[in-house]
Structure 1
Amino acid sequence: MFVQVAESNNSARSSNGLSCPLRSGLPAALAAACGAVSFGAVVASGLTDPLPLAALAATVGLAGWSAWRANVRANALRRSERAAAVAAESLHDTRARALDFARASTDWFWETDADHRYVFVSDRLSAILRVDPSSVLGSGLLDLGSLVEDAATWAEYRADILAGRDFQELELSIPTTNGGSLFLRLNATAVRDAQGRFRGYRGCGIDTTAETLALVEARFMQTVVHDALDSISEGFVLFDADGRLLICNERYRQAYPTIADRLVPGATFAEILRTAAERGGYEGEGDVGAWVEQRLKRHLRHAAPVDGLLSDGRWYRISEHATGTGGVVKLLMDITELKTREEELAGQTNRLEVTVAALRESERRYRQLVELAPYGIVIWDRSAIRFANTAAASILGVGADGLDGAPLARFFDDGAALEAQLAAAAQGGDLRVEGEAIRPSGERRFLELRASPAVHRREPAVLLVLNDVTDRRRVEGELQRAQKMEAVGRMAGGVAHEFNNMLTAIGGFARLAERNPADADRVLTCVREIAKASERAATLTSQLLDFSHRRVSEEREIVAIAPLVRDLRVFLKPLISAGIDVVFDIRDEDAHTLISPVTLNQAVLNLALNARDAMPTGGRLTIGLTVETPPRAFFARHGGLHPGRYAVIRVTDQGSGVPDAIRDRVWEPFFTTKEPGKGTGLGLWMVYGAAQQAGGVAELESAPGQGACFALYLPAIDPPVLAASPPPLLIADGDSAAILLVDDEASVRSYLRLALEEAGCVVTEAADGVEALERFDEAGGLFDAVVTDVSMPRMNGPDLARALEERNPGLRILFLTGYASKETAADLTAQAGRRIVMKPLPPERLLEALNELLADE
């Protein structure tokens, strides 16, 4: 029966055209033993089944079966050996190809094990170092610290290495035997096994020595060239083939004082000419555009030198030459003395004619300059305006004749006070003030006024220069907001790190207390640590609100200076450049002063950022705090200060210092030495104003070339005495206070309810303003006070207060908020029976505020 089934199956297989490879591989003896049985049919019927195999073994005999099995295994072994040989050859080719790439590359490659020790370094590194690499780089990645110039940078990379993270651009500086240095840059990728376990690093190295030295040499040569050009007595300027200014020395700028501010790299010759024409450089009567076009053509023709009297009042021999790259070099040689001698030789008669012509020319030029000036020019005799140019009339929004004889106060907000202030300039000395002009149309413009002594009809008068700074203020405000947003973005990492630490402590201690609630000492310890962490979080939140000016009040208060200065570390960390080491030197922990914390925070932060900008290549930034009594010479310099003890905050850098030429101007508003777009000139002015607000002063204490040290002198006061008092209770004469509590955050609402109930209050809860109105109506409005959050969904706190006012105008309301501006706080507390308290708040502060609210008559 088995043979018939097998033959039937074999017939079916044969009819499909399939052969039996298993049978074709049988030895001859086994095939003969099979006789008429179709072995392929047996295999096809299920060779792996023990029953057919046993039947097969019984049919063919044990010897035949063993021979067949041996032959099958031999064939399988030969196939495995051939596959292994092919794989080995492919692996050898791949390895040889990788080594060829490594030898041919100008870079070098390396590999470490899981302990960061080198297990492979390509020969290219030996050729670069010319010594054994291990004598320089050590035995592993953790030995590279001495080759990284900045310790803070190495600390960050070392943390990445210990964590098994990829790293890029690790810069190494290696001293050589000839006194020089080699500069290498490492990049690495972490290697992990199939289970994700760290197995080591594979990476490459790049020799950046030539690139680094070339950059240093280029900067050096640029400095040398600029120093050389500033040392010569001739004026020098270079334009490129596109007519853009590349180099201009100081002597050339001195020859053109009216356009010196436009002689900066990047300005085109055409732009400079147009500025000169606008400021009086064009003396003709034709089209200014045609004059500019004609002057451009002359600039490109490189004609013979010409003599000219420039705007600084001196004569120059002007020569222009083409450069090999298509640009233009212009040289100015001062020939004033030569011209003077020529005029003297012309004779007395000629001299008189020249003098008269010069006077007429001077008068014409003066009138032209005054009329074309972009600033308003006014002569005021302390009773009325006696002269005003076109720009002044335009700035004040009147016609050309609308200012003659008009009182100055008419055009300014609080004009009488401004006139009194400006009148002092007629007695001598210059004065600079700001005022808000009101045009006849009602439009307001911010003006900067510079007042100088003048004479009108032989009587003392005041020369006023009006500068409309409205647009500049707007742009500066936008720039400050943009810079602040960038700073906030860079700060986010540092602040998030601090909050994560606090949340780790809060969550960790909460879980520890939860594990063993019966251990009272353990629970009390955990609760205290949770309270400390929450206080740290509240302090950091307060600092963030100070930084963003989101404070309920900016009035002066007693400020502990040491913690405020020390907390700046969180904000400075993401803003300080690599290579700058920030050191806090706090020598008096009890230093206190009376000042707005917002103002003091911003002042110290401004000084720190200025110090950062003064050290582009790195250095030490020190923020120190002491309490001292300044010497008599200090009070002699600042006559308005009261002698006594002062808290002194010093911010010191290791930059190049402040030059003597600008030391007296650093406190002026809008004065800056930074590039256009990188500074408003308001930072130090705000610092000085912050010191004056507190009754102190700011000083620049360092000498030129020795870095800069800016000091804030703030009157020191004694620390406040904190009297311990028991928590206030809300129960009066045995009656409980009925409180409607509204907050959308369930956990906060639960905390507030427990605190109020502990003090004896009867509390009704609501999750938002809509639900609060429902609870109020259900209770018939029988509540002593409402405690509500300001920001809530569906209906917020202010809208709820307005709705409740219609039901009960005398209902007392306590607002709780995480942030609010002065304007918002003023609106919320404008009427009696309203108070606002900042979150987070401890139970004592909540009950104290509610007691004060209920006690108000």
Structure 2
Amino acid sequence: MNAKISPGTLTLPAPSPLRSILVLLLVLFFVEMLLMFSFSHLLPSRSIIITNITDAALLTLFCSPFIYWLIFQPFKKMALMQEALAENVLGQVVDGVVLFDEEKTIRSFNPAAEKIFGYLAQEVLGCNLQLLFESACGSGGSEGIGAAISKDTSINREYTGKRRDGSHCHLDISISKVRVGDSWMHMGIVRDLSEQKRAEAEYQAILRTAMDGFWITDEKGGFLDVNDTYCQMTGYSRQELLAMQIGDVEAVLTAEEIKARMESIRNPGRIRFETRHRRKDGSSFDVEVSANYLPAGGGRFFAFLRDITCRNEMLGTLAKSEEKYRTLADNVTVGVTLISPKMEIISANRQSRQWYPELDEKYSPICYKTFNNPPRDSICPDCPTVKTLADGGIHEAVVTNPWKGVARHFRIVSSPIKDNAGNITGVIESVEEVTALKRSEDEYSEALSRLTATLEATADGILAVDLNGRIVSYNQKLVQMLKIPGHILETDDFYLLIANIYSQLKGHDKLVRAEFEGDADRDFHDLLEFKDGRVFERFCRPQRIGDTIVGRVSSFRDITGERKMEAQLRHAQKMEAIGTLTGKVAHDFNNMLTAIIGYCHLSQMQIHSNDPLMQNIRQIITAAERAAGLTQSLLEYSRKTPSNPQAMELNQVVRQVNGFLSRLIGEDIELVTSPADEPLVIIADAGQIEQVLMNLATNARDAMSGKGRLIIGTATTRIGEDFLQSHGFGNPGTYALVSVSDTGSGMDEDTCDKIFEPFFTTKPVGNGTGLGLSIVYGIVKQHNGYVTVESKKGCGTTFRVYLPLTGQAPHEKVEKPTLPAKMGGETVLVAEDNSEVKALLEDVLQGYGYSVVTALDGHDCVESFRKKRDDIDLIIMDVMMPRKNGKEAYAEIEKLKPGMKVIFISGYTGDILHSADLAEENLNFLAKPLSPNRLLTKVREVLDRD
């Protein structure tokens, strides 16, 4: 710990007394002069005594604030700054800080010091420093704290501290003299070295107990540290080695070679090599050196050294007998290899080299990498050589070694090689190729395995029965499909199997007749329907051996899911067809409503508010708006409305619509909402989600006949395989779940199947349109969600809506104020194929000062613009028009005048989202039916936009 605090570090600048006195005297002078000249006119009496007393009193009164402000306040501020310095600086440092005076009395004790010594600050303040540093506080000695105090010097030493519990700790102490206010004190910065000392002790213990030798040298090769193992290897003591260099123990390399070797270690940073070292008695031994270099601390070399004399002696002994061994081994017909304990191939005979011509013994290749192609990265499973090295016994195994795409089978016998002490020094492997024998043995089991694997891998249930009604073969899929108990399968009796599944089938007699009646060589196909709703498709054909029929084989395929998918496809096609029809109807209807509503608004503007006709016009507008609402419902069902999907919190929508639902369902129905605790963020149109909740609540209200309980809850759920199997649709993932339950009369299964169909209703004629739940279905599908229904007669109904969750943050809605229509003078080109709507747009725009040019269709629009493009400021065009639609016409206009302003209108909003792709281009759009004010506001907004 080298950080020190020099004198003056903690001293704050004090206010200048001389400046304060001079300013004060100057103020007193001016106040005294003022009083002297004013008293003669203010006092009724001119007595000298009264004048002096009054002068002194007023002088004291007037000068008190200046005295406080000039003298006392700066000193108070300095004291507060000193206190803040002590609390914020000394209290936040990670090292312990102890302030003490010349008498060694502790004056300050920060939180870090409390953790080190275990004392609280109030326990040590006022105590002698000897309480914490018993062995370092004597006055004698140049190294003591007392010496630092007496000589006014700074010290940085390691001492042994004493904690509150009596234990001792290793500390690094830095003491400096600092000025605190007007007095000098001593500051001790204390750092706990206990963990560092413990780590150093562990490091030394590891080095002492390591089985390999270890040393650390400097850049010149001088030993800085060695462990006991290397001392035992060389015979030198630790003190002797620390006074030596690498060259003193190196027996092979010269000084220049040692220097070059150290340089080679320094460049890559790590290297392994073999050499010989010299013992103290003059003998030498072989060592394997793993060296590493770290540039820190001026550069250090770290090395682990292993005595490999025994290994090299073994190799030398083997080399002497190699010729005799090779002559004998090369004349046998089996492969013979010598393997080291590290699985290295030391030698191989002629037969082994013929099997593996690329084998090169000079490089000591690894066994499992050499005898496999491609090479293995790990030891072969059940290797007999590994077992021999483990227990010293003889082991054998038949293994498969792939070589260049050909499976070769070998019988390997591994025998150990031991030295005089009984230690295993290697293994002899005798290898005999048994590929042909292995192939013939495997043929039968391979055929049987292939047949079994085929039966088990198929998704169908397979059953083979002989002509006597005995079960010959089956797969596990059949057991799962038919739910066959194990004790029946053990008997192999087909009739018991039939009796077990007899009660499961709707047509239980078909299975027996199909198996054993009719022509023996006839193939047949039928369907088996189970009472629980499952449907199996069965194919049955005779089993022949040669030309003789010995039984029948049946395959059972579960087509329950396919049946559900077919039903859902038919339902989806029906829904899409009706949706297309309703969308087209709504398109034409919106054009008519635009003319009705528009001309009604124009009539309102043209007649007096007290005119009797005004009431008639209001009734017409009300009826037209109701018709527009019905049109909107049709478009929502057909999913042709433009939605505004944004990230929204589902629980918030449920809370917002709660009050409206209470009024909707009536006072006699109890509304209970239980939103989830966690936020449920989805991508949706808030208005459409509110429409879903209102339609479901209305349906529940009618089902309860005005009395009961409606429960709306939200939660997080996950759609998995169980959901897909039970419903036949859905994508796995995490969803927000909205459940709407009522205590009404419930529905039967047939009604539940039709509940989402358009115009289907169980209500009396005139009491329902049959579109409410169809709209729910359309909106949920538009949001990539799912809706299910569960109900039973007399037990109420539960609708569950699943909507995908998103990780986005909820969007904050910003309300835009509605602005009144403004007059204009620009020229507008109106392209509309409906004559009534075109006439309305022309009347409205001209009534507010605009010049209007009309076009019959898309082609006419382009030609009209081409003639008057310099005069036209804005284009209003229908999306769907003859000859050219709005998108095509606008594309040509863009080429004539880039950036031309346009407003698209349509009564069939699916046009703009699907065919014209206008939504992606952020172009202006108005949906029919249009009101004059909405049209004029949009026109003014687009024209005024930069």
Q: Same fold (TM over 0.5)?
A: no
TM-score of the superposition, structure 1-length normalised?
0.32
